[in-house]
A and B are shown apart, each in its own frame.
Chain A
């Protein structure tokens, strides 16, 4: 593969703040030069692509997705997920360990990584389970799993509920300087709820999940982080209380990071409407006040990252009474346009919004991607920021179509995706 030159691009690197017209040169899969002056120094043999002034940014780093392989390939597999990601400008996916078998063994870590490499459309890294079988009791072999390539440790869509187990998990992870990620929801408060506790749930006659279920677990974990000194990440914040708790903890200097997912800033509990199971998520869609707090959290950096929280489910799991339906929505193909909404609406500066899907998650995970810098992997997305389009679940490459955003008008589309210097996606329209 010869050198690749992307010229006439709006070079946009949220990490460094670079925003200028120029060129980017890729040699041997890595960024060799980037900047306004790079165009003058391009080797003659380089393949040239005219970016026509569109935004050339690091490929998206999606730090939380459920990919369903191994075990539930009828919902999604690593191939369809890779295709969905590449088409949407995502170049790195980190997947949750809630597969079958659970990713709590080095062999499964290696399986997922090898499959990802073989497919070759996106970098796929797994998290490993924090406790064996996601049972919340006994610690996994974190040291060996990390050596095999696990990027962090989490029980996926289950909270590590026991304070004692969480303390040991944090303490043990700290031994090797590993990251522990929590699904912050106190199960004794959330069970048997299906949607946010409040007026809407009451009117619908659905059992509610109080926002304190999230706040309490985040606050508890923060106290455990204080005593263990471990690196801790709270997933998909959805409540004003949890955002405030993390904000205070960061001010205090604790080693805490967090993310949210687009539904928590783009929708509120009213989306449940008439028992729409596509609006059933875990954590649930919250009040509009919570939604606004999440937006503010992203804007001021309290919420470091935005993840897709991709959760493929088939029709059978969603065409059920609300309480019986599965929770979660697909998100890989809507991550970029919904994140851009924050910038288009003037709620979050463009640099901060895009940092939340590139540089910030890469820093949390200690990956060397997510930035436009010489030496970094040439994982890139060329984005038409203003292109208007309508989200259409039938056009999703993802195997499952469960999205509450079907039909939503959005702006901004990935025209081209580059992975390690190879073009893995080019928009046809």
Chain B
């Protein structure tokens, strides 16, 4: 009976972004993910809550790491996972996207995990399908599972998010990771800073509730968490920053710059890293300070939680219907 079902603690059909989620909903996803951490470390990593479910990883942009993480998450919950890579060509534009969505929809998948190089494309697709959609990264807009795994990683080490000073450093302009993290961390009561040259900050970024810095030593002062962003190769040689060596000199994370952060400050990076560009190898590999490996591990747990919660909502809807 519909009335017998408890109201979902995540009352959304899709996970398209962090923007719009409440602190309770974010906490719910993190708590659920926490329950999978042990499972992922056990010898038998498989359970069955997605048994019979079909999950399609639909990637219009290549990504080995995120796709693998989603794939493992679906398989460890017993679901059937299909990977689809679609070569995206700007020439074909939205028609191909919607055609693809309609075709896949006809195969009755339960969850689509979609990555697309254009902001808003995942939302557009979600309007055309009957299944749940997880945004696995859309353009420079959102990457919600990354923000959730970052939050879980921080919470496991610091015990909380509330009140922490988090400095997000580097190419904020082109970063969906930054946008999702800013939204999540602000919702959870952290104090968020961005640190970058002005050419790598979008207009009015301060309106997103962050303190803006252009100097690493100022921006990292007393930080609890230093989150580095990847700088794409094509942006390193004069268009946005003049050169790798200049970028590393002023904005690359090394021990000298890290020294102004809190003594127990932790370092994060969404990967893949450019060693010697945004981060010094020594810092990246510091087992006491770097959370980069844990971020990858939490990624699987967070994606399991998202898939399971969305599948539960599908079940509720199906039974209600």
Contacts and interface: CB of A to CB of B under 8 A. Distances in A.
Question: Is chain B found bound to chain A in the same assembly?
Answer: yes
Interface of A: 131-132, 137-144, 168, 171-172, 174-176, 228
A168 B238 CA distance: 10
B238 A137 contact: yes
Given A144-B249, A175-B214, A138 B237 contact: yes
Contacts of A172: 197-199, 241-242
B199 A175 contact: yes
B255 interface: no
B100 interface: no
Contacts, number: 47
Interface in B224-245: 237-243, 245
Interface in B282-312: none
Interface residues of B, number: 15
A144 B197 contact: no
A141 B238 CA distance: 8
Contacts of A138: 237-239, 242
A200 B243 CA distance: 47
Nearest to A131: B238
Interface string B195-226: 00111000000000000001000000000000
Most interface-central of A142, A171, A172, A228 (chain B CB within 10 A): A172
B250 interface: yes
Contacts of B214: 174-176
Given A138-B237, A143-B249, A174 B198 contact: yes
A144 B246 contact: yes
Contact of B198 (A137, A140, A228): A228
A379 B214 CA distance: 35
Most interface-central of A131, A139, A144, A228 (chain B CB within 10 A): A139
A173 B249 CA distance: 15
B197 A141 contact: no
A141 B245 contact: yes
Interface string B244-263: 01100110000000000000
Contact of B242 (A141, A171, A174, A228): A141
Given A144-B249, A175-B214, A139 B198 contact: no
Nearest to B239: A138
Lowest 4 A-B CB distances belong to which pairs?
Answer: A138-B238, A141-B246, A171-B198, A175-B197
Given A138-B237, A139-B242, 11 more contacts: A132-B242, A137-B238, A139-B239, A140-B238, A144-B245, A168-B239, A171-B197, A171-B198, A172-B197, A174-B214, A176-B250
A171 B239 contact: no
B198 to A, nearest CB: 4
A171 B239 CA distance: 12
10 contacts: A137-B238, A139-B241, A139-B242, A140-B242, A141-B245, A142-B246, A144-B245, A171-B199, A172-B241, A228-B198
A144 B246 CA distance: 6
Contacts of B250: 143, 176
Nearest to A132: B238
A152 to B, nearest CB: 15
A172 B250 CA distance: 12
Contact of B238 (A139, A143, A174): A139
A42 to B, nearest CB: 46
Contacts of A140: 238, 242
B202 to A, nearest CB: 11
A128 to B, nearest CB: 11
Contacts of B239: 138-139, 168
A138 B214 CA distance: 20
A144 B199 CA distance: 16
Contacts of B198: 171-172, 174-175, 228
A62 B224 CA distance: 48
Contacts of A131: 238
A132 B236 CA distance: 13
B238 to A, nearest CB: 2
A142 B241 CA distance: 9
Given A131-B238, A132-B238, A175-B214, A141 B243 contact: yes
Most interface-central of B199, B239, B240 (chain A CB within 10 A): B199
B238 A142 contact: no
B246 A168 contact: no
A143 B240 contact: no
A144 B197 CA distance: 14
Nearest to B249: A144
A142 B199 contact: no
B245 to A, nearest CB: 7
A168 B199 contact: yes
A310 B285 CA distance: 54
A139 B242 CA distance: 5
A267 to B, nearest CB: 39
Nearest to A171: B198
Contacts of A139: 199, 238-239, 241-242
Contacts of B199: 139, 168, 171-172, 175
Interface string B127-146: 00000000000000000000
B236 to A, nearest CB: 10
A356 B237 CA distance: 38
